[in-house]
Chain A
Amino acid sequence: MKNKLKSHRLLTLIRITPLLLFFSGLVSSCLSPYQPDTQSIGRAVVVEGMITDQPGPYFVNLTQTADYTYSGLNLLVTGATVTLSDNLGNQEILKEATPGSYQTAANGIRGIAGRSYKITIRTSAGKQYESALELLKAAPPITKLSSEYKYNPAAFSNDLRNYWEVYLDTKDPETPGDYYRWVWKNYEMTPACQVSPGLNADGAYTGIPCCTACWNINQCYSNCINISSDAAINGKAISRQYILSVPFTSRSIYYVEVEQQSISPGAYRFFSSVQKLVNNTGGLFDSAPATVGGNMKCTSDPDEVVYGYFGAAGVSVLPLRVDRTKDAVGVPNGKVIQLDNLAACIPCMNSINRTPTKPRFWDQ
Chain B
Amino acid sequence: MRFFYFTFVCSWLIPYFAVAQSKIDKTNHSLTGYIRDAITKQPIQGASVFITENRRGTNTSRDGFFVISLPAGTYNVKFTHVGFHAQTHTITLHKTVLTEILLQDDSKDLDEVTVTTEAPDRNVKKVELGVTQMTIKTIKRIPAFMGEADVVRSLLLLPGVTTVGEGAPGINVRGGSTDQNLVLMDDAPIFNSSHLMGFFSVFNPDIVRDVTLNRGGIAPNMGGRAASVLDIRVKEPETEKITVNGGIGVVASRLGIEGPIMKKKLSFLLAGRASFNDFLFKLMPRSIRDTKANFYDVTTKLKFQPNEKHTVTFTGYNSHDSFKLASDSLSTVEVNASSTLFEYRTLNGTLKWNYSINNRLNLATTAIYSQYRPETSVPDSSNAFRLSSEIRHRQLKADLSFTATETHQFQGGFSLIDYYLLPNKLIPGFQSNVLAKTLPVERAYELAVYVQDEWKVNEAVSIVGGIRYSQFLNRGPASVPIYEEGVPLQPETTTSSTTYNKGHIFHKTGGVEPRLAVRWTVGEGQSIKAGYNRMRQYIQQITNTTAALPISRWKLSDSFIKPQIADQWSVGYFKNTAGNAIEASAEVYYKTVQNAIDYKDGANLTLNPTPETELLQGSGKAYGLETQLKKNKGHWIGWVSYTYSRVLYTINGPFPQERVNNGQQYPANFDKPHTLNAMTTFRPNNRVNISFNFTYSTGRPVTQPYARARINGIIVPIYINRNQQRIPDYHRLDFAVEFNQDPVRSDPAKKKRYERSWVFSIYNVYARKNAYSVFFKLNSASLNDGYKLSVFGSAFPSLTYNFKF
Contacts and interface: CB of A to CB of B under 8 A. Distances in A.
Nearest to B490: A265
A233 B703 CA distance: 35
Contacts of B437: 232
B546 A286 contact: yes
Given A36-B786, A287-B603, A25 B711 contact: no
B773 A283 contact: yes
Residue among A30, A43, A307 with the most chain B CB within 10 A? Answer: A30
Contact of B433 (A231, A239, A277): A239
Residue among A63, A74, A276 with the most chain B CB within 10 A? Answer: A276
A341 interface: no
Nearest to A276: B602
B773 A177 contact: no
B711 A73 contact: no
Interface in A230-272: 231-233, 239-240, 265, 269, 272
A21 B282 CA distance: 10
A21 B719 contact: no
Interface string B646-681: 000000000000000000000001000000000000
B798 A68 contact: no
B786 A21 contact: no
A10 B669 CA distance: 46
B545 A286 contact: yes
Contacts of B798: 20, 24
A231 B546 contact: no
Interface string B770-802: 011111110000111111111111111111010
Given A20-B798, A273-B602, A35 B786 contact: yes
Interface string A281-300: 11111111111110000000
Contact of B790 (A13, A21, A24, A29): A29
Contact of B706 (A30, A41, A279): A41
Given A285-B332, A288-B703, A278 B714 contact: yes
Contacts of A289: 703, 705, 717, 719, 722
Residue among A39, A67, A240 with the most chain B CB within 10 A? Answer: A39
Residue among A22, A32, A177, A308 with the most chain B CB within 10 A? Answer: A32
Contacts of B712: 48, 224-225, 274
Contact of A41 (B284, B604, B720): B720
A242 to B, nearest CB: 8
A224 B433 CA distance: 20
B774 A34 contact: yes
A198 interface: no
A280 interface: yes
A93 to B, nearest CB: 24
B747 interface: no
A90 interface: no
B170 to A, nearest CB: 11
B786 A290 contact: no
A25 B798 CA distance: 12
Interface string A51-76: 00000000000010111100101100
A36 B725 contact: yes
Given A23-B797, A277-B717, A232 B435 contact: yes
A41 B491 contact: no
Nearest to B604: A287
A30 B725 contact: no
B378 interface: no
Contacts of A24: 146, 250, 280, 283, 796-798
B264 interface: no
Interface residues on A, range: 35 or more
Nearest to B551: A285
Interface string B682-708: 000000000000000000001111111
A293 B720 CA distance: 10
Nearest to B436: A232
A308 B714 CA distance: 12
Contacts of B788: 31-34
B250 A20 contact: yes
Contacts of A34: 728, 771, 774, 786-788
A21 B717 CA distance: 40
Contact of B711 (A16, A33, A308): A308
Nearest to A284: B547
B715 interface: yes
Interface residues of B, number: 83
A156 interface: no
A225 B717 CA distance: 16
B285 interface: yes
Contact of B787 (A21, A22, A32, A284): A32
Residue among B547, B702, B786 with the most chain A CB within 10 A? Answer: B786
B536 to A, nearest CB: 26
Given A30-B793, A34-B786, A307-B718, A21 B775 contact: no
Nearest to A305: B720
A33 B790 contact: no
B283 A25 contact: yes
A331 to B, nearest CB: 26
Contact of B601 (A38, A233, A290): A290
A28 interface: yes
Interface string B274-287: 00000110011100
Contacts of A31: 787-790
B218 interface: no
B58 to A, nearest CB: 46
Contact of B546 (A32, A274, A276, A288): A288
Contacts of B433: 239-240
Given A13-B248, A38-B704, A291-B601, A274 B332 contact: no
Contacts of A36: 704, 725, 774, 786
B709 interface: yes
A292 B280 contact: no
Contact of B773 (A17, A67, A281): A281
B492 interface: yes
Contacts of A364: none
Contacts of B713: 221, 224
Nearest to B608: A231
A274 B772 CA distance: 24
Contacts of B771: 34
B47 interface: no
Nearest to A239: B433
B283 A71 contact: no
A17 B783 CA distance: 43
B706 A17 contact: no
A290 B602 contact: yes
Contacts of B716: 274, 277-278, 292
Contacts of A38: 704-706, 786
B710 interface: yes
B435 A27 contact: no
Nearest to A152: B338
A73 B710 contact: yes
B774 A282 contact: yes
Nearest to B794: A27
Interface in A192-240: 221, 224-225, 231-233, 239-240
A21 B799 contact: no
A309 B711 CA distance: 9
Interface in B305-353: 330-332
A287 B545 contact: yes
Contacts of B799: 16-17, 20
Given A282-B776, A285-B549, A66 B703 contact: no
Nearest to B789: A31
B544 interface: yes
Given A283-B772, A289-B705, A73 B715 contact: yes
Given A32-B788, A39-B704, 17 more contacts: A21-B279, A21-B280, A23-B797, A25-B284, A28-B284, A34-B728, A36-B725, A41-B707, A46-B709, A46-B711, A48-B711, A65-B707, A274-B714, A278-B716, A289-B717, A290-B719, A307-B718
Which 7 residue pairs are nearest across A and B when measured between Cβ atoms? Answer: A25-B283, A282-B775, A27-B794, A290-B601, A34-B788, A65-B707, A284-B547
